[in-house]
Structure 1
């Protein structure tokens, strides 16, 4: 499981304390800030005041029903805050109704906590991409500003180093040959970079990353190219 390094806040709306505690354990393990609510009224107040990054929402909760909370977020607040429904309602009709309300994902109880963590990460990544932000492992890049951070610390990258890092982050775990990396650079520049120069840029990029974090994110695959490993 890739650890989240940005302390993004997750509001867990669930009236079963045991389920809340289970989700909380896994969220804290992966570096998230956890906000809890046991009913719809408390959930609504915390959404308004604390502005969580993502909402994990049970449908059958006291006070205001989960469906109404979702409708309020989308229609009244006009918010695109990611919402994952976590519910025992498992019929196809229930799922369709959930997506019609604007949820980003639908998880049925009983559920796997590990799977829920991956779904949270995937939904947050898609939401960030819509805003021009790409996050993976400890890295964050703002596509519009062409800036990059690792574990909250800004990386001072050259033009080509930034493009290479963005390319790696968009293809995690995939072995990229030097020619493939060059192809991404050519989308932005004419052929002013050679295979040999790619190695130099990656060497400098590694050094800048290693100054901030000791982890070996960019790995050499002998005879093939490079691979970005999200640890």
Structure 2
């Protein structure tokens, strides 16, 4: 399986490559956004690790381009040296599935890569879920609203499936991080941004309610009777 690692620091690329290769992955290295764009076009890349601050296009620009292009469902992890919450939120709003803040543990990144890949391709998908006009098909990793396909990132898909399978239940953001992302700890704004993006993509058909002081819940489709 081929992973793209795009970072202008050759030391970072080498260390990340060694750790990912230990896990049996093939790594393509790029030093800037232009080379990364070419790699995405020419190689069968299954996940991209993008440095936010690499030469143009930077990681956030490239993330946006991927989401708007031919590979909208490609898993993306951002590497960022920016510690402020608003900068992390910017990356998530651009469509990143995950992010790791520099300096980071290469093994932690490798574990994040494995987690994203595992959730992007579940071994034994459950059956389809239908709720009103929304249809979710785990085997195809597809979602449709009133018959029209809705493009979701892997994490958005995972979050929507989880909520659809637990209608009416309220989940705190920390619990969603643990059960959807597989993180025992992390930035709770990750959940907030993904909920915001899901609401926007599902439009008027979304029923993700904010339960103040508790978390989020999927409101059941009202019955006709």
- The answer on 1:17 being equivalent to 2:10 is yes
Q: 1:45 aligns with which of 15, 38, 51?
A: 38
- After superposition, residues 41-190 of structure 1 pair within 5 angstroms as 41-129=34-122, 132=125
- Mark the CA change 1:71 to 1:84 in structure 2 (over 3 Å): closer, same or farther: same
Structure 1: runs of 5+ lacking an equivalent: 1-7, 134-142, 146-231
Could you state the TM-score of these two structures normalised by the residue count of structure 1?
Answer: 0.53
**Secondary structure at 2:8 match in 1:** coil
- The answer on 1:31 being equivalent to 2:24 is yes
**Secondary structure at 1:53 match in 2:** strand
Structure 2: runs of 5+ lacking an equivalent: 127-137, 141-225
Measure how far apart 1:144 and its partner are. 5.2
Q: Find the structure with the greater CA-based Rg.
A: 1
Measure how far apart 1:130 and its partner are. 9.9
- Mark the CA change 1:58 to 1:52 in structure 2 (over 3 Å): closer, same or farther: same
Over aligned residue pairs, what C-alpha RMSD do you find? Answer: 2.2
Instruction: Give deviations 1:6-55, integer Å, cap 9, x for gaps.
Output: xx111000000011000011111111001010001000010011031100
Q: Distance in 1 between matches of 2:55 and 2:71?
A: 24
Measure how far apart 1:78 and its partner are. 4.7
Q: Distance in 2 between matches of 1:114 and 1:71?
A: 27
